[in-house]
Amino acid sequence: MAIQWNRGVRETGKLKVYNKGGGWSAAVDAAIVSFNNLGLGVQLVAERDEAAANVVVMLSDGTDTYSWGDHSITVNFNADQMHGRARTIATGSRTVEIDFAVVFLPGRVPNPTPKQKELLVVHELIHASGLTGFTPEGAKIANGDHDIIGLMVAQLVVHGDGLIELLPEKGALPMKPIRIGGQTMCKMRMLWKAEACPTN
C-alpha cells in the first residue's frame, strides 16, 4: 500500500538519510546517488545527525529492533539472502502518513558485490519512500507495491555481479543502469509530485 510521507516532509521534496550501513556504507552512499538519478519525485540527502534523519539505513543480522521516539520497529528476516527490510512508522487519525523509516540490510550475505549491495539498497529506499508494501498496521499485502518489471519486482536474484528480476523480460540484462517499471515511477511521482497516473 503506497503511503505518503507527512506533509512537512513532502513539501521539502527531500528525505534525509542517515547511513549506519557498516560494511555496506559505501553501497548506501552509491545507492543515494543512483536513487536521485531516477527522477522519482523525491531526492535523498545524506544526514550526519541520526536524530535529524527521516530514514536510517542499518546493517542487520536479521533480528533487530530500532527505536524512534515512543515507537519501536522490529524485524526478523533471513539476512543470509539478498533482500532487506524497509519499515515505516505511520501515524494520523484521518489520513495516515509516514513520519519515519528504517531500512535493515542483510548483513550475513556471503561476498555480495558492490553493485549487488547498491541495487538492493535502492530497492529498499524506494520502499522507505512510500511504496511500503505494508499496511500501517504492518500486515503484509501480497506484492503490495512491487512491480512486474525492474528493480521493484518482489524477488531479485543474483546475476553476475548485479541483480536481475526472478522472471525477467526476455533478453533482460543485469541492471546497469537500473530499470524502474512504469508502475513504480507512476506511484512514486503520485506520492511526491501529486501527478496523476496515466489511464489506458
Burial pattern 83-120, b for ≥16 Cβ within 10 A else e, equals bbbbbbbbeeeeebbbbbbbbbbbbebeebeebbbbbb
For the chain, the farthest-separated pair of C-alpha atoms sits apart, in whole angstroms, at 49
* Residue 156 within any structural domain of the chain: no
Answer whether the bond into residue 168 is a cis peptide, omega within 30°.
no
pTM: 0.90
* Residue 164 within any structural domain of the chain: no
* Residue 44 within any structural domain of the chain: yes
Question: Checking DSSP bridges between strand 85-91 and strand 156-159, what pairing results, if any?
Answer: unpaired
* Residue 173 within any structural domain of the chain: no
pLDDT per residue as tens, the chain (200 positions): 789 999 999 999 999 999 999 999 999 999 999 999 999 999 999 999 999 999 999 999 999 999 999 999 999 999 999 999 999 999 887 788 999 999 999 999 999 999 999 999 999 999 999 998 654 444 333 346 888 788 898 888 887 888 877 665 666 666 667 889 888 999 999 999 988 877 65
Residue 109: enclosing H or E segment and its boundaries?
none
Residue 103 grid coordinates: 531500512
* Residue 154 within any structural domain of the chain: no
* Residue 183 within any structural domain of the chain: no
Q: Convert the pLDDT of each residue in 117-155 to its tens digit.
A: 999 999 999 999 999 865 444 433 334 688 878 889 888
* Residue 197 within any structural domain of the chain: no
User: Looking at this protein, which amino acid is placed at residue 98?
Assistant: I
Contact 139, 1 (CB under 8 A): no
Strands (E), the chain: 14-20, 43-46, 55-60, 63-68, 71-76, 85-91, 97-106, 156-159, 162-165
Contact 183, 40 (CB under 8 A): no
Domain that holds residue 74: 7-142
CATH number at residue 79: 3.40.390
CA neighbours closer than 13 Å in the CB half-sphere of residue 21: 27
* Residue 198 within any structural domain of the chain: no
Total of domains in the chain: 1
